[in-house]
Amino acid sequence: MSQPAIDVRYVANLARLELSDEEIATFQPQLEAILRHAESLSALDLSGIEASAHANTVFGPMREDVPHESMSVETVLQNAPDQAQGQIRVPKVVTDA
């Protein structure tokens, strides 16, 4: 199954990138090679392989979690680095637009 050609200039425009003609000439064969490789991967028979989210074993937490029923709001607020008016204060992580 052959993929239609993808135009690097069109993709760059979608990504709001300005590419020179030299860069486009460099990237076009690279993009085509990537698409050919992806197409070859889709042809592999994976019927006997179980799907997994991680290649390596992912370990769980290293400590015992305290059930939320036994932890009071006061305990959480006492352990918070900064709190005000019964709420945990956190630093601002977004800038004004």
pTM (global) more than 0.75:
no
Tokens of 94: 């977004």
Q: Which SS3 state, helix, strand or coil, does residue 27 take?
A: helix
Letter for the amino acid at 83?
A: Q
Q: At residue 11, does pLDDT exceed 80?
A: yes
Per-residue pLDDT band for 15 (boundaries 50, 70, 90) equals very high
The answer on pLDDT for 67 being more than 60 is yes
| Sequence spans of domains, the chain | 8-42
Tell which phi-psi region holds residue 25, choosing left (phi > 0), alpha (psi between -120 and 50) or beta: alpha
Level-2 CATH architecture, domain 8-42:
Orthogonal Bundle (1.10)
Whole-Å CA distances, 73 to 3, 54, 76, 88: 57, 36, 5, 10
Residue predicted with more confidence, 38 or 60:
38
Which pLDDT tens digit goes with each residue over 18-56? Answer: 999 999 999 999 999 998 999 898 888 888 888 877 777
The DSSP bridge partners found for residue 88 are: 83
